Amino acid sequence: MVKIRIGFRLLAALTLLAGLANVGLADPTPAQLLGYKPSQTVEVNVPAAAEAGKCTVELEKGKPTADGKQPTAWVVKDGAGKVLRKFHDTTGAGGVNIIAYFRDGEEVYRELVTNNKINQYRWVGAEGSKWGVDQNGDGKIDTWTVISPEEVSQEVLAAILTKDQKRFEALLVTPADLDVLGVAGPEAERIRNRVAGAAATFQKTSKDLAGLKATTQWIHLEAKHPQTTPADAIGAKEDLVRYRNAALLYQDGNGQGAKHDWVQVGDLIQVGKAWRLVQGPTPGIQPSGIATDDQPGGGPTGIKIPPGAEKLVEELNALDKAGPGPGRDGVVTFNKKRADLLDQIAGHFKAEDRGHRDVWLRQVADCLATAAQAGDKASLDRLAQSTDLYAKEANGAIHPYFLFRHMTSEYAAGLPGLGQNQEKLTKFQEAWKEKLTRFINAHPKTDDAPDAIMQLGMVNEYFGARTEGEAKSAYALLVKNFPTHPMARRAQGCLDRLNLEGSPINLAAPTIGGGPAFNIKTHLGKAVIVYYWASWNELALSDLNKVELAMKAFPGKVELIGVNLDTDAAAAVAFVNKNGVKGTHLFMPGGLESPLAVQYGIGSLPVMFLVGPDGKVITRTAQAATVDEELKKLFKPEDKKDK
């Protein structure tokens, strides 16, 4: 069944004019209703082309209203009976006013319709609590009716990564908000002055953090308890409730190479069920001794700076601004200096203030891990010493943080020295598997547990068929215990890949070089070789040449689909053009973190699937050197005729 993307006016013709309850009229098809996509970013279930034909549409009737009208909804379900979409007429007036989207049978997002236009967006269920409003009909959120402090900080990071100033400005306190609170006089003037400079601050920060990857992840919002100023104290209508100097922690990269840093969000003010910003974001950590317009001499901060450490924080900011020097030595020197400063700051905390101290110590561990993985043994030794030191703290949360970074750094340092010695490599991986298992059992709910579980799955895959079941169990555990974690999507992709043989493959994406969109379903009737590659992988050219040679024996019967995982499309295009590579090649931004890599959990290259003419995967472990033999099992080579 072909998916049809129809305009909202057509759906309005089916529902607004005819009425959902009038089932005697032509009903919408699954393809028509599945043609609708969320206007905002959210993950929902979309059936593969091969499964779309099994979808159904049912008319669901609700309880009649007091005036006798009949609320109804068109409900789209997949072949297993799980709900995919609901198109509601909640008033019984005869038109769609809510479009609800589902993931794994649970509603996660809905769009509200007024006068046949989608103008409100709500994230629900596992996706959170945000409720945004599009006031001018351009499809972008202009203001928020409901949004938590955590979600505000997530929006700030997303706006920085995309350089979307409109997205950021939708989070700011407005004059209308001040009217709602009844804040006037000097307090209102202070807020207005800070808001006035927010746009310029956002622009500068977006430039300063331009090097962050699109896959950078929000980790958490760091803020002390909210502060309340009673309404009568400032002559307002409502109490002024705010978080002072909050900051968000983000993670750039995944696994062993991940780096963490901060963005200052500033004050947040509560207006009804929404929290608002009063200033632009700034990178790094701000010393508490710096005065602000409403906090002379500084004030409480989300990232607590202990008394006596202000000078150290200034040195840290200066070091961060200068950045690392060139090459490996520059990276090592920078991170060791940074770790020293962070450690000194953490040392100013009293024993009872362990929680605030650990915010700084986590960065110490990150810096030492980065230097250790760059080859600095002293940093690796220091990680080990810190791990032992913090293991002595009762119920300490920082010990597993150091432990995991020491484990991964030690693993990264030891792997290159093994060369091609298979016996040593096997023993090394067995030891790594045991360490990961112990860590997961001892620290099942720590921030690093998802990464540890993912790596346990990967090392079990390394051992092949004999531990494939253990790999599947690890990935399933990650998905079950951490369903909203970014790694859960990759874990699910790994599960899908491990279960791929004998099942249809779903592969649809743009082609490199700005070509048309591609869907592998268009090649039904032919065998397809799917090859995941990148221009930096030394095997790519050799493998592609072998595949092309193997295909020549079966003209018209085999297609090559390359899935490029370069971070830069230009590199892929240059590689294809320079080497005359044949086939159709797909590309989506993100490299090994792109949707094309996450879809089937592709974490290393190259990877090759062989797909049969029926669209089902024959093998997910095909090799360029032997793919000709696999093809011979499908087709008899054409006889060569003498010329």
Encode pLDDT of 77-103 as tens digits. 998 899 999 999 988 888 889 999 998
11 pLDDT more than 90: no
Asked which of 19-28, 112-121, 290-299, 559-568 is least confident by mean pLDDT, the reply is 290-299
Tens digits of per-residue pLDDT, 385-432? Answer: 999 999 999 888 899 999 999 999 999 888 888 887 889 999 999 999
Tens digits of per-residue pLDDT, 169-178? Answer: 999 999 999 9
Model-level pTM greater than 0.75?
no
- Residue 288 has a pLDDT of 47
- Residue 102 has a pLDDT of 94
Query: Measured between alpha carbons, how far is 355 from 558 in angstroms, rounded to an integer?
Result: 60
CA angle 548-552-556, nearest 5°? Answer: 105
In single-letter form, the type of residue at position 578 comes to K
Query: Measured between alpha carbons, how far is 20 from 14 in angstroms, rounded to an integer?
Result: 8
- Residue 567 has a pLDDT of 83
- Residue 67 has a pLDDT of 83
Asked which of 17-26, 196-205, 272-281, 510-519 is least confident by mean pLDDT, the reply is 17-26
Tokens representing 315 are 């040195």
Give the CA-trace dihedral at 449, 454, 458, 461, to 10 degrees. 100
Q: How many CB atoms are closer than 10 A to CB 129? A: 14
| All domains in the chain, ordered by first residue | 8-143 (no CATH), 163-289 (no CATH), 416-498 (1.25.40.10), 508-634 (3.40.30.10)
Out of 14-18, 116-120, 411-415, 546-550, the most confident range is 546-550
- Residue 253 has a pLDDT of 73
230 pLDDT more than 60: yes
In single-letter form, the type of residue at position 401 comes to Y
Tokens representing 238 are 């409502």
Task: For 606-628, give the DSSP string.
Answer: -EEEEE-TTSBEEESS--TTTHH
Backbone angles phi, psi at 374, to 5 degrees: -85, 0
Span 447-471, average pLDDT: 93
Q: 109 in helix, strand or coil?
A: strand
Query: Measured between alpha carbons, how far is 69 from 65 in angstroms, rounded to an integer?
Result: 5
221 half-sphere exposure, CB direction, 13 A CA radius = 22
Query: Measured between alpha carbons, how far is 171 from 414 in angstroms, rounded to an integer?
Result: 47
Under DSSP, the state recorded for 238 is S
Tens digits of per-residue pLDDT, 498-542? Answer: 999 999 999 988 898 766 788 999 999 999 999 999 999 999 999
- Residue 637 has a pLDDT of 55
Q: 137 in helix, strand or coil?
A: coil
- Residue 88 has a pLDDT of 92
Out of 147-151, 252-256, 417-421, the most confident range is 147-151
Confidence of residue 278 (pLDDT cuts 50, 70, 90): very high
H-assigned helices in 391-526:
398-414, 422-442, 449-462, 468-481, 486-498
Residue 612 pairs in a beta bridge with none
584 half-sphere exposure, CB direction, 13 A CA radius = 19
Span 25-42, average pLDDT: 83
Q: 106 in helix, strand or coil?
A: strand
State percent of the chain over pLDDT 90: 54
Q: Under a CB-based contact definition with an 8 Å cutoff, are residues 586 and 573 in contact?
A: no
Q: 192 in helix, strand or coil?
A: helix
Q: Under a CB-based contact definition with an 8 Å cutoff, are residues 367 and 258 in contact?
A: no
- Residue 26 has a pLDDT of 53
More reliable by pLDDT, 106 or 11: 106
Tokens representing 565 are 């995982």
Span 457-461, average pLDDT: 94
Query: Measured between alpha carbons, how far is 540 from 606 in angstroms, rounded to an integer?
Result: 7
- State the average pLDDT for the chain: 86
Confidence of residue 261 (pLDDT cuts 50, 70, 90): confident
